[in-house]
Chain A
Amino acid sequence: MAKTTQPKDITPADSVVPVYLVPLTAEEEAEREAWAAEAAEREAAEEAKIAAKETAKAKLAALGLSEEEVAALIA
């Protein structure tokens, strides 16, 4: 998606290449929010998966399985 707003040259004195500021458009802000939501959702799923694995390990240990046996079942 092309930037549609006019770039503002903000090149600092010590930069060897041009640096431009292009504030995000409303559409890009919305896109960014969607990406953030997607990332948060994925992260929550990862953490839920980790929590489920820990619960499963605890239940297996409660059944009398050794640490090695639990590890062999849940790699």
Chain B
Amino acid sequence: MIDFPANPTNGQVYGNWIWDSSITSWRNVNTDTGIGALNAMGLKNVVPGSIVVGSGSATVNGNGFVTFSNVTNLQLNNIFSSTYKSYRMIINITANSATTAIQGQMVAAGTRSTTGYNNVVTVGASDNTTATVSAINSTTFGMCEVHVSSNTNLGSAELIFTDPFEARPTKIPHVGTGSNSGGFVIRRNAFASHTVATSYDGFYINVATGTASGTVQVFGFTS
């Protein structure tokens, strides 16, 4: 017998259960497919309004899961809005044609912002070497680097955006996984900010050299 809390409120979480006031019942977050709008983790998937690629192709499923193939760049439009203050984005590179950096820019109504990126990066490699780099007032910011020499296609970036839709600087702490020319795994811990204080609704992903394939997911943090 589970000892549920008395007088729960809509969305209240208890272990693997969440209270749904519309049916005055607890729902199991792992097995109840009728969980609907309730979200125990506070993260909700965002479906982009549209996608623009410079080459290759892309597709988006009903959950907003973007799969892209052989792109030089990928622009996600209408992902940031007044619905959420903060967002999580996960970029996974599953194939790349050349050793490349994966870079990002904020987008407002289809137009990229090309100034004001500050990125402080600490790099740690699995060969036990470390380095720190900073890029101030750059035209873009680096999220991860993917090599083809070895550990090919080992690339991902996980970003948190705070205030992208507000007319104030966007804070973008992120981590990136990649590999260096020696084939060792690199973990980048980075703290980026974008200081051009405009409201942004999209994000541009650039493959600096060649093309890449992979996936992107965006989630909003329930306020």
Residues of A within 8 A of B (CB): 1-3, 7, 10, 12, 14-24, 28, 31-32, 35-36, 38-40, 42-43, 45-47, 49-50, 53-54
Can you show 22 pairs from A to B with CB atoms below 8 A apart?
A1-B112, A1-B114, A2-B111, A10-B53, A14-B59, A15-B58, A15-B60, A16-B61, A17-B60, A19-B58, A19-B59, A20-B50, A21-B52, A23-B55, A32-B72, A39-B142, A39-B208, A42-B133, A43-B180, A49-B131, A50-B129, A53-B129
The answer to whether B181 and A39 have CB atoms under 8 Å apart is: no
Q: List residues of chain A with CB within 8 A of the CB of B73.
A: 24, 32
Interface residues of B in 182-222 (CB under 8 A from A): 206, 208-209
Q: CB of B35 within 8 A of chain A?
A: no
* Chain A, Cβ-Cβ closest to B182: A47
How far, in whole Å, are A54 and B100 apart by their CA atoms in the complex?
Answer: 25
The answer to whether B180 and A47 have CB atoms under 8 Å apart is: yes
Q: CB of B57 within 8 A of chain A?
A: yes
For B133, give its contact among A32, A46, A53 (CB under 8 Å). Answer: A46
The answer to whether B59 and A32 have CB atoms under 8 Å apart is: no
The answer to whether B51 and A42 have CB atoms under 8 Å apart is: no
The answer to whether A12 and B111 have CB atoms under 8 Å apart is: no
A11 CB to nearest chain B CB (Å)? 8
Q: List residues of chain A with CB within 8 A of the CB of B163.
A: none
For B51, give its contact among A20, A32, A49 (CB under 8 Å). Answer: A20
Apart from A17-B49, A19-B60, A24-B73, 20 more pairs, CB < 8 Å: A1-B112, A3-B52, A12-B59, A14-B61, A16-B47, A16-B61, A16-B62, A17-B48, A17-B51, A19-B50, A20-B51, A21-B53, A21-B55, A21-B57, A22-B54, A24-B72, A35-B140, A43-B101, A50-B129, A50-B131
For the side of the interface on B, what is the size category? 35 or more
A16 CB to nearest chain B CB (Å)? 5
* Chain B, Cβ-Cβ closest to A52: B131
Q: CB of B135 within 8 A of chain A?
A: yes
